[in-house]
Structures are given as structure tokens and as C-alpha cells.
Chain A
């Protein structure tokens, strides 16, 4: 991974809003791995995932004017943009017909595989760390966030009552915080 360039977020935003090419380069170097991580969790097929990554950067460049720092951090905005584009792609007609839509089994069994491919962090044994998450919690986060499932769809897929989705998400996120907080 390219070394991250130290820059204050508001400076980066200012560069981007001014349509300064330096801004998009810094953005790419600092955020492409995280964004591509999300996209490739949603779309496993590499070529399509790369196309979506490109679309994401073009959309960031064209829509940076809509970003409002008072509503949240830049990273939040970037992640939402990448996630929405990727999920929209999985819902598009040609994508569905190509059979690239991920199944629940993908989410359950590919945890090791995805986290093995060139991690953006140098923390050793992160797999293990994430595996500490109780699998049923992990899969719920995966379905909702990376799968774009609604709560009802997730409940149906996991065969749990709809009413327990929120409670489980709460537990999962709390657990996540503990793991990440201690190990990173």
C-alpha cells in the first residue's frame, strides 16, 4: 500500500471542492484500499469490482460539492457512496442475470478468503481477531452492510425473529468495538 499522506481532512475536502487534481490523488492513496475492500466484499468478481471502484472515484469527484462536513466525516460519506454504488450494481439487471449475486453461503464461508487478500493493515492475526466475532453476529453485519439486505430479509435468511435483528446487531457491534479496541 502506498504510504498514506498526512493531510487534515478539511484540507483534503477543500482541495477536492476546488477540483484540484492533487486532491483526488491524495484521496486515492489514502482511501482506495478501504473503499475497494468494501466493494470487493459486495462484488467478488474482480473486474466488476474494479469498474465500481472507478465509478466511485468519478462520482466522488463530480459530487464532492454535495458533501457537507457538518453531517459527518468524509470517510463516512465515501464509504456510503462506494457501498451504494456496489449494491446498486448487484441489483442491476445484467448483474443478476450473470449469476454474480452472492449467496448467504458466500457470506458465511468467504470470511477467511476475503480477509486473506492483501490486508490494508499490518496487524498480524487480524483474521483471528475478526473470527473472534461470534459467527452469527458477523454474518448479520455482513448481510446488512455488505449484502444490502433489509432487516426482514436478513431475519428470513438467518431464520431468526425480525424483532431480534436490532438486538443482535447491537451485541455484534459492541463486541466488534471490544475486539478492535483491544487489538488495534
Chain B
């Protein structure tokens, strides 16, 4: 749009009447800043509107003058309450008399007493500073503790994420698995159960420790065995921490049964420890 078209459009007048929307306002302000002709047209429109308004002026009732000027003045009084009133200028030069000397001595004594008072006050303040710095130290310690807790939480989170990833991998590797529930064969843990998922096509075995007792002593691992031709073949070791997870073991082409024993860490060639759960296929 050319400058002339812009001036002829009526947007300037709409702007002056306060009826331009935000985009239009910006447009007018931009044009005004760039083109003196537009600025002149804006001034002209303003003057026209202002004379239009002026000739329609309405005198307020005479009593309004005092009322409004009073209200404005009250605004200032309210403000003044917060203002600092300067102290009287001290008068300089004075005659020194005995009375004055006596007064000075009294003042000096008073000053000593006041200093003593101040001193005790300073001690109090000092104690307070000590107390505050002790509190600051406490706070700093607790910040440190928080940082450590955060680190521990982060580590735990990392462990859990890894374990979740493992489980997901195991799940993905399994396709139409056969579910083999191994039941307790150990009298002191009759509720113990673990589940073997045995993939029908890949023959991959996964173990879910389920309700196998959580291992508290270190240096031990559960070991999964496949019974092939009457002989136990190690499928692998697994642990059962507090985060029970599905664990991918290895491919077992065939088996007549599965069993879990508790062995020393890392597993053994043939079962030595107690058998916990078992299932025949």
C-alpha cells in the first residue's frame, strides 16, 4: 500500500478514535515512524477529533472543583506520611558555662554507661551471629546429604532402568512361549515358585524368579537346570534381588524338566546346593 493509499484508507482516523485493533495499531505506529506525511495526517486527525470533543465540552457542577482538587491533595497527604521529615538544622555557636560543663560530664558518664550497654548488646549480637553460622553449617550439611541422596536415587534409577530394559529384551525375544511353572520342592519354603518361559520356535529360555526367596546372603546364585536324558544341564545362573526381573537365559533345544538350585556365586558344573523348585514337562 502506498503512503497516499494508507492515508486515504481511514485507518489513521480509526486509530485516533481508539478503535484500531492491535495489529492495526502497530501498523499505524510503524507508518508514522517512517513517513512524515503519515505523521502529519495523524496529527491532523487528532486535532480534528480534539476540536470536535472540545466544542462538546460540558462544564461540571461548580462544587466539583473543590471536591476534586481536595481529592488530589489527599493523595499527596497520603504519600507524605511515608516521607522523611528533615531534622531541624542544629544551631551553631553556644556559650560555654559551668552548667554546660556539668552537662557535658553528665553526658560523658551517660555515654560510658551507654557504651557498656552497647558492648553487652554487641556480645549478644555476636552470640546470635555464632548461632546463625551454626545453622548455616547445618543447612550446608543437609544440602550435602541431599546431594548424596540424590546420587543414590540416581544409581537406583539407573539399575531399575537397566533391569526394565533387560525384561523388555527378554519379552521381545520370546514368541509364543510355553509357560512352565516350577513349584516348591523345599519344605521350608512351600510358597516358592518360579516360571520358565520357553520360546516355541527359538527354544530360548527365560526365567522369572517370581516368589523364590529373596537372597540375603552374598556369594550365592540361583542356578537353572534343564534335565536332558535324565541329566541336569546348566541353563545359567540368576539372582533374585528385591527387583524381581525376567531374565533371558539361553537356548535349550529340549528338556524333560526344569529345576532351580541354590549354588555358590557364578554357578557350578553339576548341582550341589539345595533344590528349590522344579517342574516336569
Contact = CB atoms under 8 A, between A and B. Distances in A.
Contacts of B52: 141, 176, 180
A114 interface: yes
Contact of A28 (B45, B48, B65): B65
B46 interface: yes
B16 to A, nearest CB: 8
Contacts of B64: 32, 50, 53-54
Contacts of A119: 55-58
B8 A40 contact: no
Contacts of A166: 9-11, 13-14
A29 B69 CA distance: 11
A141 B17 contact: yes
A57 interface: yes
Contact of B14 (A24, A169, A177): A169
Contacts of A118: 58-59
* A117, A130, A145 — most chain B CB neighbours (10 Å): A145
Contacts of A61: 72, 75
Contacts of A144: 14, 17-19
A76 B50 contact: yes
Interface stretch (A90-98, A101-109, A120-128): A120-128
Interface in A1-42: 1-2, 19, 21, 24-25, 28-29, 32-34, 36-38, 40-41
With most chain B CB atoms within 10 A of its CB, the pick from A25, A75, A144, A169 is: A169
Counting contact residues on chain B (CB < 8 A from A), the size range is 35 or more
A48 to B, nearest CB: 13
A120 B18 contact: no
A154 B8 CA distance: 20
B48 A37 contact: no
A123 B54 CA distance: 12
Contacts of B17: 141, 144-145, 169
A141 B59 CA distance: 22
Nearest to B62: A2
B91 interface: no
A184 B51 contact: yes
Nearest to B51: A180
B136 interface: no
Contacts of A165: 10, 14
Contacts of B122: none
B35 interface: no
Given A58-B75, A120-B57, A148 B48 contact: no
Q: Which 7 A-B pairs have the closest CB atoms?
A: A120-B57, A170-B10, A166-B10, A33-B57, A37-B57, A144-B19, A37-B58
Given A54-B68, A120-B58, A176-B48, 12 more contacts: A21-B69, A28-B69, A33-B57, A37-B58, A38-B53, A54-B67, A61-B72, A61-B75, A73-B46, A120-B56, A166-B9, A184-B55
30 contacts: A19-B76, A24-B69, A32-B59, A32-B60, A40-B58, A53-B64, A58-B75, A61-B75, A62-B75, A72-B46, A76-B50, A117-B58, A119-B55, A119-B58, A120-B57, A120-B59, A121-B55, A123-B55, A145-B17, A145-B19, A151-B14, A154-B19, A167-B9, A169-B10, A169-B14, A170-B9, A171-B10, A173-B16, A176-B49, A180-B55
